[in-house]
């Protein structure tokens, strides 16, 4: 079985993604973002690092960048998930790329730091879903405070002091490849160029990429370009031709066909839907293999408000 490399969309706030989800099952996958999970109701099993971890209502857990994990709930679990890229902190906290958090459930209400952390996660989530003026600044501010509390509350190790086994070397290669594509997606990208940089054969890297990213190299590049186009369609008034060039597509026809494939609508229709229905959340088609339901921002805000009372609300 191949492990899916999930490309997390940051279409609302750069390097941050927040969502409320009803979880039944999510297959084994990994992504570049650090993920903090708070279980609002139900129970959840997480399989990671060759062990199964059980969470109950009120539990909290941190999943590291490039950490394989599978989620399963016998009935259903309601999760508040805050994902952020380590890139946010690299300029002023470069050690972030060496930090590896223990994947151990924590009851946040049991300590002052935990209660403060929960309050900031809730407040950041409310800001994210409300989308009031300058909310991206607020989300980034909260992300630094959340990381500060994680460093104090959650046991962690310095990755560079650990023995770098075969798995870690593989994950480091995945990160290098992903970072390279993220930096050069606007240019002409060839798998052969990456193979040369990694000192690998084209055939080996093609197999490695599909096995660890879950898609072909070109599909991954196109999805990344479409994610960037999606952000520009929502947040700018740039023409489709301009967006096409910014995102690295060779022509409008290629942009249209790729966007239609991933999101089920054309870029023009997608922009019109978001202009006409600002509360609408556009996602990929409902996932039937992974049994889960992601709530819209309006639904998420209503549910969070019901679950939490002041001082969590702003």
Domains of the chain by range and CATH?
Answer: 4-161+285-307 (2.60.120.280), 166-276 (1.10.10.60)
314 pLDDT band, cuts 50/70/90, is: very low
Tokens of 292: 């889960």
* Rounded-to-integer distance, Cα 256 and Cα 262, Å: 10
Tokens of 278: 């600002």
Mean pLDDT rounded to a whole number for the chain: 87
Among 91-100, 154-163, 273-282, where is mean pLDDT lowest? 273-282
What is the model's pLDDT at position 262? Answer: 86
What is the model's pLDDT at position 268? Answer: 93
* Rounded-to-integer distance, Cα 192 and Cα 200, Å: 9
101-106 mean pLDDT:
95
Among 100-109, 175-184, 284-293, where is mean pLDDT lowest? 284-293
| 3-state class (DSSP) for residue 296 | coil
Q: Are 133 and 91 in contact (CB under 8 A)?
A: no
Q: Are 63 and 27 in contact (CB under 8 A)?
A: no
What is the model's pLDDT at position 168? Answer: 67
Task: Write down the H helix ranges in 185-251.
Answer: 191-197, 202-213, 217-235, 240-246
Short-list 86, 71, 91, 76, CA closest to 32: 86
Give the Cα-Cα-Cα angle 5, 265, 272 (nearest 5 degrees): 120
In whole angstroms, how large is the CA radius of gyration of the chain? 20
Whether this prediction's pTM lies above 0.75 is answered by: no
Among 13-22, 170-179, 241-250, 262-271, where is mean pLDDT lowest? 170-179
How much of the chain is in helix, strand and coil states, percent to nearest 5? Answer: 50, 20, 30
279 pLDDT band, cuts 50/70/90, is: very low
Other CB atoms within a 10 A radius of the CB of residue 241 amount to 11
* Rounded-to-integer distance, Cα 151 and Cα 144, Å: 11
pLDDT tens for each residue of 153-164: 999 988 765 554
pLDDT tens for each residue of 33-55: 999 999 999 999 998 887 899 99
Q: Are 3 and 214 in contact (CB under 8 A)?
A: yes
């Amino acid at each position: 079985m191949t492990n899916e490399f999930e490309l997390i969309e940051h279409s609302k706030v750069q390097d941050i993604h927040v969502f409320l989800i009803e979880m039944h099952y999510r297959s084994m996958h990994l992504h570049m973002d650090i993920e903090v999970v708070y279980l609002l109701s139900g129970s959840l099993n997480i399989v990671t690092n060759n062990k199964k971890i059980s969470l109950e209502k009120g539990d909290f857990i941190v999943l590291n960048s490039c950490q394989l994990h599978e989620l399963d709930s016998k009935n259903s679990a309601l999760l508040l998930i805050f994902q952020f890229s380590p890139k946010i902190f690299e300029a002023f906290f470069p050690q972030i790329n060496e930090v590896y958090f223990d994947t151990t459930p924590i009851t946040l209400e049991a300590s002052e730091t935990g209660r403060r952390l929960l309050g900031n996660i809730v407040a950041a989530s409310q800001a994210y879903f409300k989308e009031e003026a300058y909310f991206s600044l607020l989300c980034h501010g909260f992300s630094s405070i959340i990381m500060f509390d994680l460093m104090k509350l959650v046991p962690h190790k310095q990755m560079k002091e650990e023995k770098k086994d075969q798995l870690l070397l593989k994950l480091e290669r995945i990160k290098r490849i992903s970072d390279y594509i993220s930096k050069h997606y606007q240019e002409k990208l060839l798998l052969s160029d990456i193979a040369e940089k990694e000192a690998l054969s084209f055939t080996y890297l093609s197999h490695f990429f599909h096995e660890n990213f879950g898609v072909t190299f070109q599909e991954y590049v196109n999805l990344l370009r479409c994610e960037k186009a999606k952000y520009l369609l929502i947040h700018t008034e740039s023409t489709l031709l301009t967006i096409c060039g910014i995102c690295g597509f060779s022509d409008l026809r290629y942009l249209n066909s790729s966007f239609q494939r991933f999101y089920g609508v054309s870029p023009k229709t997608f922009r019109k839907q978001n202009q006409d229905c600002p509360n609408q959340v556009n996602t990929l088609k409902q996932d039937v293999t992974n049994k889960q339901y992601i709530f819209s921002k309006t639904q998420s805000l209503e549910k969070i408000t019901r679950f939490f009372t002041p001082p969590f609300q702003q």
